[in-house]
Amino acid sequence: MKKFKGMTLVELLIVLGLMGALVGLTAAISNTSIRSSEFDRVLDATRGEIYAAQSDTIAGTYDSAWGVAFFSNEIVRYKGDDYVSRDPQFDLVTNFSNQVTLTGADEVAFTRPYGVPVTAVDLLLTDGMRHKSVTISSIGTIEIK
């Protein structure tokens, strides 16, 4: 009697099922990792642009005040006393994916020479799973919770 060396159909289906489960698990983990990475990038960009606008105002860069405008999927650092009257040629735009949303205040403008905001600002960043609040106090301190 001859013995065939190979796999039966049942063994093949088990191996394919396990491989499919591993691929699905890997995809879910990588999607979560990408989403988390984008959230952290947007939080860092938001914090960085606020600090940069405040620093530019204190330093008197281009002899002007600076501010940051917040949109649902975009941040704009601008030169001027407010977004409406800004000088658009100095706009620095940071875009981010639709997975992360930014809500709260429309903008924060800093006043010269001390870099304090015109008004205190509260922002909320969320990606559906995580959220962080960014608060800029009336004396210019920036806090992330």
What is the pTM (predicted TM-score) of this model? 0.79
Residue 4 placed within a domain: no
Q: What are the beta bridge partners of residue 123?
A: 104, 134
The answer to whether 123 touches 133, Cβ cutoff 8 Å, is yes
Residue 29 placed within a domain: yes
Residue 75 placed within a domain: yes
Pull the structure tokens for residue 82.
């407010």
The distance from CA 60 to its chain's CA centroid, rounded to whole angstroms, is 27
25 pLDDT tier (thresholds 50, 70, 90): confident
Give me the mean pLDDT over the 100-108 stretch. 89
Residue 55 placed within a domain: yes
Give me the mean pLDDT over the 85-110 stretch. 90
CA neighbor of 56 nearest in space, from 74, 75, 78: 78
Residue 1 placed within a domain: no
Residue 37 placed within a domain: yes
Could you tell me the residue range of the domain that residue 75 belongs to? 11-144
Domain count, the chain: 1
CATH number of 31's domain: 3.55.40.10
CA distance 133 to 145: 5
Give me the mean pLDDT over the 55-61 stretch. 95
Supply the pLDDT for residue 116: 94
Pull the structure tokens for residue 59.
């330093």
CA distance 142 to 134: 7
Residue 87 placed within a domain: yes
Residue 126 placed within a domain: yes
Q: What are the beta bridge partners of residue 89?
A: none
Supply the pLDDT for residue 1: 62
